[in-house]
Structure 1
Amino acid sequence: MGKIMAVNISEKKGTQKVNVHSAKVIEDFGLENDAHAGKWHRQVSLLSYEKIEDFKAKGAPVEEGAFGENLIVQGFDLKALPIGTKLCCNDVVLEVTQIGKQCHSGCEIFKIMGDCIMPREGIFTRVLHGGIISEGDEITIMEENEAQAL
């Protein structure tokens, strides 16, 4: 079982996201008012709270949303989840579609630190069922039989 530590959106692509603490998640779209939402396979991005804290311990001056992540999740090694894994938070069901990504050249974090964790630690999902996600909510990995019932 994991926990939602932050819910982040940005109005424009290429900018850091800001913590809005709670958001409406729209089926087959993403987080309401987020620039990265849309009809594609990377509707909601997730990053591990523990990996962010490890990066901060190296001196990285990062705040919630700095990596462009929608959800900061505590309790899971997200990059170890296989493609197709389904995550459930309240009524929201997310399906993992991609692990990591190619970093656009010269992101601000990489310029400062010489490294960025999103390309290797971040995961991307599509929204199978919408609802509301808020800080403090529990997030779980759905069992195979639960996922098949969708």
Structure 2
Amino acid sequence: MVHLGDCLLSINPQKSEGLQLHFQHTVHDAMTMLPKLATGLDVTEQFTGVSDFEYTFECRIFALLGIALHYGRLVDPQTSEAGKLSCNQLVEKIFTCKYSSNTSLITDSPIAEQFPEPIDTARTYRGLCELMAAAKKSELSVLF
């Protein structure tokens, strides 16, 4: 955490005065978020690519430092409706379909069954293949 904080404070982009103030505010916000990284990070996968996340405040830290975020649980959007949804949308859809009083929703959308079981924790075969293609040599990244 200390090293990340030092790295954030060492960033000094050449920007106009207005942009510099905005940047300083962004760095300040990131510094206040930094201690929370010790207990976890709020990220929501999009399931459309190994680097596709819904933007959260916590992601600012990594964007500022140029650290890529990746994950390895993808589905084929051609064969599964789940591949077109974010993680939050998928959970909401599963919950809605499972607990709806509308019987057509319950029987119409077996979306939970479409999502493949992970190979190991949170990776699928497609996700691993795309991770191998997306990873850059000597790139610093975080893998979820």
Shorter-chain TM-score bucket reads under 0.3
| Greater RCO (Cα-Cα under 8 Å, separation 6 or more) | 1
Which structure shows the higher strand fraction? 1
TM-score (norm 1): 0.24
- The structure that has the greater radius of gyration is 2
In the superposition, the TM-score normalised over structure 2's length comes to 0.25
